Amino acid sequence: MIPVCDTEEYVQKLLSARRAGEQGVLAFYEHRLGCICRNPRLMLLPMDDHLAHRGDGIFESIKWVDGRIYQLDAHIERMKRSAKGLYLQPPCTWERLREIAVEVACAAETENGMLRILVGRGPGGFGIDPAECPVASLYVVAYQFKAFPQELYDKGLTAFRSSIPAKPGYMARMKNANYIPNVLMRREATERGLNLPLSFDDDDFLAEGATENVALVDQRGTLVIPEFTNALTGTTIMRAVDLMKDRMPVEFRRVREDDIYRARELMVMGTTGGCVSIVRFEGQPIHDVKPGPVAREIRELLDQDIKEQGVAIR
């Protein structure tokens, strides 16, 4: 028989139960309680929060390096757009949400880390109707930042065409909590022993990676960004465009698989890795099969931008 515990006994079991990944959690905040905690065994999500059982919510992942949070305001602006797409509002003002994010990062007491901000429909029932949930939920977690190994920047990545199609446009353009296609893409990469899956839409145009945006340098020396028709508008790639637009031509247009094979450089950009070169696609070489100078320049500019524009956590 499964024991039925009273509150005190249940809490004790909760505190003594080990959980996977707990060493990576540095600090977290839940809006219902209004405080920050550092014990990962108390980091819980209500089972009836529609964020958990319906994927009805949005999120952002943000890094800080050397005590400076990168692109905080750009991430929050994107979160506002995602919230609008789901007819969702956080349980506090956006200005207060920003303050909470900085405070949680500060409470982590480390110079380098990651923030995960989640806004959910909230607890209230196990149905599908948003009306079940009187108040939206807000969770902010600070966790360890795992930088890409230098070897990946030095040697470049391998990529392939994923069998998982790009998300429908309205879903792709929101950073929502339904990441099943992304999960399946990552699983596929592991099975194939390759680094990156790239998805294509129904019209055979390049969309995005599992968690990164894609860009290429064409034969004319133009930095080409695939249109965000079926892809999330990345904060990192858009910042890279701002930093590069006076250094080389930049163009947003649709990209087919043939364009990849003809490219002088192929790269991915995202919060964790910055900018990383892809040197092989479907086993075929990209140009000279070496990380290219444009990817390196973008990465260096992004690293410098963190130092100059990042939000101090203390």
Q: Mean pLDDT over all residues of the chain?
A: 97
Does the predicted model carry a pTM greater than 0.75?
yes
Which contacts (CB < 8 Å, 24+ apart) does range 11-20 have? Answer: 14/41, 14/42, 15/39, 15/41, 15/42, 17/41
Contact 74, 306 (CB under 8 A): no
Q: Return residue ranges of the chain for CATH 3.30.470.10.
A: 7-143
Contact 100, 116 (CB under 8 A): no
Q: Which CATH superfamily is domain 150-309 in?
A: D-amino Acid Aminotransferase, subunit A, domain 2 (3.20.10.10)
Per CATH, the architecture of 7-143 is what? 2-Layer Sandwich (3.30)
Q: Return residue ranges of the chain for CATH 3.20.10.10.
A: 150-309
- Alpha carbon 15 to its chain centroid, in Å, reads 30
The predicted-structure confidence for 11-23, as pLDDT tens digits, reads as follows: 999 999 988 999 9
Q: What are the Cα distances from residue 129, in Å, to 49, 118, 122, 132?
A: 12, 20, 11, 6
The predicted-structure confidence for 202-259, as pLDDT tens digits, reads as follows: 999 999 999 999 999 999 999 999 999 999 999 999 999 999 999 999 999 999 999 9
pLDDT means per 10 residues in the chain (314 residues)?
96 93 96 97 96 97 98 98 97 98 98 98 97 97 95 97 95 94 98 97 97 97 97 98 98 98 98 97 97 98 97 92
Pairing of strands 250-253, 223-226: parallel
- Closest to 166 in 3D by CA, of 181, 183, 188, 187: 181
